[in-house]
Amino acid sequence: MDKMDIKKLAKDLNLSTSTVSRAFRGNSDINLQTKERILAKAKELNYQPNLYASNLREKKSKTIAVIVPELANNFFSQAINGIERVAREKGYHTLIYVTDDDYQREVSFIDDLYNGRVDGVIMSASGEANDHNYLNKLRKKHMPLVFFDRVYDDIEVPKVTTNDYESSFLATKHLIEAGCKKIAFLVINKSLSIGKMRTQGYVDALEDAGIPYKQSWIIDCKNDHQENYQVLSRLMNTLQPDGLFASVERLAISSYYVCHDLGIAIPEQVKILSFSSLEIASLLNPALTTITQPAYDLGANAAQLLFKTLEGGTAQKEQLVLKSSLIPRKSTAG
């Protein structure tokens, strides 16, 4: 009574399973009337073709995987939103995997996808300077992979990033023009693709302005707020920068807390600027100058690239670079 399958439905209709099957496939030849009769009966009996049987036959899952370092984060949630929308429009389903910035987890997620569960993968990388060879297995399985934002340079697949170097350069220049002489650069992982680009933009902009650059002004931070709070407090008390350039949103947040608590006035005593996808940057106290990445578009484009290779068959290695925008606000006001 409960379990419906194509055979029972066919018997109910005095038809063969092939005919019933045809009613559910878009293309095949079938009499319109029988088709409608079948669909009606199917609805009545609450029948739907079994997904796993279909996929087994057709060897595709109409599903993609998205692997991200974190989820509860403006940037990634917007990006995923973009991915999900494109996937949905293409009739694909979207699986989410969060690594919590744990490289091992990334590896094991990927491992879990070899079995045909998905047709393709979109990923923002977690594993810094590790071995990325496990990703080549994906290619052997003809499973397309697309990177967005955080990429591995040594893996040749389509990538969607933003103009990090240029943005970072301009941002640093912006601080200099606002009068900063002692600009600290806050970074989480300067060996990662993105950290590297952003750090370089900062360094070059300093040089370009004839400001002596010192290694000690590049501050290594973590993902943990408490730790960063300590590091930044020390920074403010010792080096006493008059400018903070946060390469990641959460570092700007920590900086704000530190400055509030230490009674350091923004922007009078220290100007702050950050890469950030915070939609309410202008409501902060004071409004935060940001380099805003087009997070949604980044995701949407990554998805489009994936479907392009999925449909085209050829493994493209397109590199798409979207532009971020520098939005000056009170936190860097002269």
Q: Which residues bind a second copy (CB under 8 A)?
A: 2, 46, 48-53, 55-56, 61, 63, 70-74, 76-78, 80-81, 84-85, 88, 93-98, 112, 114-117, 137, 140-142, 253, 256-257, 260, 278-280, 283-287, 296
Place of tokens 């606002």: 178
Q: Please, which residue, 7 or 323, has the CB nearer to DNA?
A: 7
Q: CB 11 → DNA: shortest distance, Å? A: 10
Nearer to a second copy, 19 or 73 (CB): 73
Distance between CA 99 and CA 106 in Å, rounded? 6
Task: Give which of a second copy, DNA, none residue 29 binds (C-beta under 5 to 8 Å, depending on kind).
Answer: DNA
What is the closest distance, in whole angstroms, from the C-beta atom of residue 17 to a second copy in the complex?
16
Nearer to DNA, 34 or 316 (CB): 34
Determine the Cα–Cα distance for residues 170 and 127; give it in Å rounded to an integer: 28
Say which entry of a second copy, DNA, none residue 22 contacts (CB below 5 to 8 A, set by partner kind). DNA
CB of 2 to a second copy, least distance (A): 7
Q: Are strands 325-327 and 289-292 parallel, antiparallel or unpaired?
A: antiparallel
Residue 112 in tokens? 């879990």
How far is it, in rounded angstroms, from Cα 24 to Cα 19?
9
Nearer to DNA among residue 33 and residue 133 (C-beta): 33
| DSSP assigned state of 203 | H
Report whether 271 contacts 180 (CB < 8 A): yes
CB of 310 within 8 A of CB of 120? yes
CB nearer to a second copy: pick between 27 and 46: 46
68 beta partners = 98
**Rg value, the chain, Cα:** 26
Q: Least separation, in Å, of the C-beta of 88 and DNA?
A: 21
- In contact, 322 and 162? CB cutoff 8 Å: yes
20 vs 31: CA distance, rounded Å: 11
Partner from a second copy, DNA, none contacting 257, C-beta within 5 to 8 A by type: a second copy
Contacts with DNA, residue ranges (CB under 7 A): 3, 5-7, 14-19, 21-22, 24-25, 28-32, 34-35, 47-50, 53-54, 56-59
Query: Three-state DSSP class for 148?
Result: strand
d(CA 65, CA 185): 34
Closest separation between CB of residue 62 and DNA, Å?
A: 12
Whole-number minimum distance, CB 53 to DNA, in Å? 3
CB of 93 to DNA, least distance (A): 16
2: partner contacted, choices a second copy, DNA, none (Cβ within 5-8 A by kind): a second copy
- Whether the CB-CB separation of 98 and 70 falls below 8 Å is answered with yes
CB-wise, 35 or 329, nearer to a second copy? 329
Secondary structure in 3-state letters for 290-326: EEECCHHHHHHHHHHHHHHHHHHCCCCCCEEEECCEE
260 binds, among DNA, a second copy, none (CB under 5 to 8 A by kind): a second copy
Of 208 and 279, nearer to a second copy (C-beta) is 279
